[in-house]
Structure 1
Amino acid sequence: MKNAVVYIHGKGGSVDEAHHYEKFFNYEYDIIGFDYKSKLPWEAKAEFQKYFTDIFSRYNEVILIANSIGAYFSLISLSENFIKKAMFVSPIVDMENLILNIMSRLNISEEKLYKEKTITTPFGENLSWEYLSYVRNNPITWDIPTNILYAKNDNMTSLETMTNFANKINANITIMDNGEHFFHKKEQMIFLDNWFKEFI
């Protein structure tokens, strides 16, 4: 059987981004973009597990590349699967903290969210008591060999949070001083490619 590289995009991303990684692998690997539809973590867990059950039945070895919330959905869904290696770019690793920070900035208390169940924010995102509760009740457990690329200017996750998470799961972490959560500028993509070549 052949080997597979599965790429999982972040919010607003595309499976076409998987093509970027083709240059790092030879003919022994199929490069696959996973076009997941889920937006809620419990939906993602079911969708991801079903999808990867099929992948594992068809491939000998699987390498995971995941971005932002795609990495978070992977972390809560795939910890018990046989993945050889995970490469995470700007992963969301503490969803509870991210939600609480948004609530704090908007002066929304947990009591208010509990009572109203769902609150629409000024930037179009819904805050959900069900979502927050699920995140709290389903902490990440992960022991797959992992490398993390983090940008110092990431506006979603602090360096302290990312470092603590990397230490917790024994992952390698590489930090780009001038990077952003969304790696897209030329110098950022060169940095990403060099990181990827070093750790893959």
Structure 2
Amino acid sequence: MKSLVLYVHGKGGNADEALHYKSLFPDADVLGFDYKAETPWDAKKEFPVYFDFVAAGYGEVTLIANSIGAFFSMNALADKPVKQAYFISPIVNMEKLICDMMAWTGVSEEELREKKTVPTSFGETLSWEYLCYVRENPIEWRIPTKILYGSNDNLSSLETMREFAQKIGAPLTIMDGGEHWFHTAEQMVFLDKWMLNC
């Protein structure tokens, strides 16, 4: 039976990015997921329904997920029959990221609880509901996973990434000078080599 590679983009990305991975998986069908969810609870409704629909008829499914796409996937697809996953700059500790953003903005937990949402100067809106959700729904991920991380990632520290990789038993590859968003020619060559070597 044929295998499927399902690509889940990050924030501001799109399903067409999946085309990049076709040459890396020549014997599989490669599909990009054009999801609408902006919160993990919406992803929990949308992702499993889509997965069941597209995965039907395939022998195995490989997941490639980027940034918040990886976070949404871990939150929504942990129980699905995914053979293996490749995470590129995944958000692995959303609670810490939200708390970091609160610190950058100078917003206390009390203030966020009272106001419910607080817009930031860097385009994100802090949400009390979101923070409560990630605290109440810790990630449980047992699918064999490989992680690629850029040393200049501005959203997750190396310590956070190492801790998570250790917890789930995932090999962690670090690109020296790589950013959160892998997009330059040099970064994409590194990404391709990493994936082929895996």
TM-score by length of 2: 0.98
Q: Aligned ranges for residues 22-33 of structure 1 at < 5 Å? A: 22-27=22-27, 29-33=28-32
Is the Cα contact below 8 Å between 2:142 and 2:168 reproduced in 1?
Answer: yes
Q: Distance in 2 between matches of 1:26 and 1:106?
A: 45
Residue equivalent to 2:53: 54
- Alignment RMSD: 0.9
1:176-199: per-residue Cα shift (whole Å, max 9, x none)?
A: 011000111111111101100011
1:127-149: per-residue Cα shift (whole Å, max 9, x none)?
A: 11001000111100011110000
Q: Aligned ranges for residues 1-200 of structure 1 at < 5 Å? A: 1-27=1-27, 29-199=28-198
**Between 49-58 and 73-82, the greater mean CA deviation after superposition:** 49-58
Q: How many pairs are equivalent?
A: 198
1:55-103: per-residue Cα shift (whole Å, max 9, x none)?
A: 3323110000000000000011111111010000000000000000010
Q: Distance in 2 between matches of 1:24 and 1:179?
A: 20
User: Partner letter of residue 118 of structure 2?
Assistant: I
SS of residue in 2 equivalent to 1:142: coil
Q: Distance in 2 between matches of 1:55 and 1:16?
A: 16
Q: Distance in 1 between matches of 2:84 and 2:107?
A: 39
**Shift, 1:26, TM fit:** 2.5
1:148-193: per-residue Cα shift (whole Å, max 9, x none)?
A: 0000000000000000000000001000011000111111111101
Q: Distance in 1 between matches of 2:185 and 2:64?
A: 20
SS of residue in 2 equivalent to 1:99: helix
Q: Distance in 1 between matches of 2:148 and 2:136?
A: 27
Is the Cα contact below 8 Å between 2:4 and 2:55 reproduced in 1?
Answer: no
User: Partner letter of residue 138 of structure 1?
Assistant: N
TM-score by length of 1: 0.97
State the identity %.
57
Q: Distance in 1 between matches of 2:93 and 2:138?
A: 9
SS of residue in 1 equivalent to 2:143: coil
Q: Distance in 1 between matches of 2:135 and 2:48?
A: 20
